[in-house]
Chains A and B, each alone.
Chain A
Amino acid sequence: MRRFILVLACFFLSLEAREWIILSGGPAIRFYEAGKERSHDKHWGNFIDSAVVRIKELRPQLAEGDQITWLVYRPGYQSRGEEINGDLLTNILKRANQEGVALFWFDTQDQLINYLNNGKDRSTNKIHHFDYFGHSNKACLLFDYSNVMDSMSKNYLHTMNFKKIKKDIFTPDAVCQSWGCHSGEYYSGKWKTHFGVPMIGAIGKTDYSRLHSLPFLSSDKGQWAQ
């Protein structure tokens, strides 16, 4: 009987799926950025292209039952699309379909936090991998930047918002990385303190300008930290 229970326990443990989350923030609109000395987001798809590159990289690492979920900040692509008269949302949907990943839009910080907390039953389906592509400073992931207002952000995830996210949503060996600028200078530490898992982040800036490639460190003394 004891062996039977053991076998069953092993069997049900093996059923636990893990979620791999790719999070894409939105681009600036050119109205606010054109003409600036350091002009951001000349290409609308920096945070989409790099996310797709990452999805391709990660797919071979998925175990049976794992799922990649792609969360995209919709308002950023709506307004940039209106500016350039293009349907960026459909473009992103097409990319998700091509990669065969589940795509979810989010419009607010609350929606994102709700997904992280409750999007799956986190007692059996924890987040094993988390990648963020978008603007950031050392204290904040900025889902929009220079999109609603010049050089400002309306939707973001600040370290002070961590208290709204459950602490046990990640697997103990989860791999998290922010590909935005400056995350390794402050955000990563607060992330580890709250969630108990490290987050790789950049000290200095990152650059998304290489085609078909992940962002790279672009500051003189830039490095990845966690």
Chain B
Amino acid sequence: MMLRMICFALFFALLPLNAVDSLPRISDTPKSEDQPVLTHDPACPVLKASEPGSETKPMEIPVVQTEKKEVLPEVAAPASAKVESDPVTPKVGLESVVIPEETPHFVGARYYEKKSGGWGWIKKPEESWKQARWVAVQESPRKFHVPHRQLKNAEQDHEFQYKLLGSFADYQIYDPVRDELLDVFVIAGYESLGAQKSIERKPGPPGRFTSKKSGAYTRRNSVQFEEDGF
């Protein structure tokens, strides 16, 4: 009997502690400085990435901001259907311009490849095409676009060459249709050099020919992602 009483006493003594400490809820308020809450809007904590070597140590995760706040005007879905009107197609911010030779630039050879997010090869003017990188081109909506946005179809400038302004990004991008990673060139302007003779290279990033595939896409057994199949 005594034993049971002790158990019940322990149970009721510990229960509130658990309920408060291990179950942060939306209505909780931050209790100390070691539970940081971001002060900018919207007030919800951003998760942290692991620091190198700290994978096994639990990271401190801030509790969610709790106070109710005035909410700015809501962008609601139309009541009738989940469709928004598309923004008016923006005008191209920078059409083909003349890029003087003395201006630092790259040279690009467009290669249209069906079912691929690759744009073509890009190299420095003094490099050979063997040194060129197969890239996807990152645009800046309403500012800088790939040349073929001005054309009817994306393949219309196949094997055109361009002088290009811009830079290589420090990250790669994933092509979900081909299940491969591509280098990224961030475009900031171009000058068309017109149609040129073919580049004697197979299209695609080096990994297409050398890396072990994930197994989700192989050219050999023709298991392919459905185009636009997301």
Contact = CB atoms under 8 A, between A and B. Distances in A.
B26 A96 contact: yes
Nearest to B83: A42
Interface string B38-49: 000111111111
A29 B117 contact: no
A104 B45 CA distance: 6
B53 interface: no
Interface string A100-142: 1111111110111111011111000100000000011111101
Interface residues of B, number: 70
Contacts, number: 234
Interface in A16-51: 17, 29-32, 34-38, 40, 42-46, 49
A98 to B, nearest CB: 10
A160 B86 contact: no
A152 B176 contact: yes
A32 B146 CA distance: 12
Nearest to B49: A110
A223 interface: no
A121 B58 contact: yes
A87 B75 contact: yes
A158 interface: yes
A175 interface: no
19 contacts: A40-B230, A42-B84, A42-B86, A89-B44, A97-B26, A103-B44, A104-B64, A110-B49, A121-B58, A135-B230, A137-B230, A138-B225, A142-B174, A149-B136, A150-B117, A152-B175, A159-B216, A180-B230, A209-B82
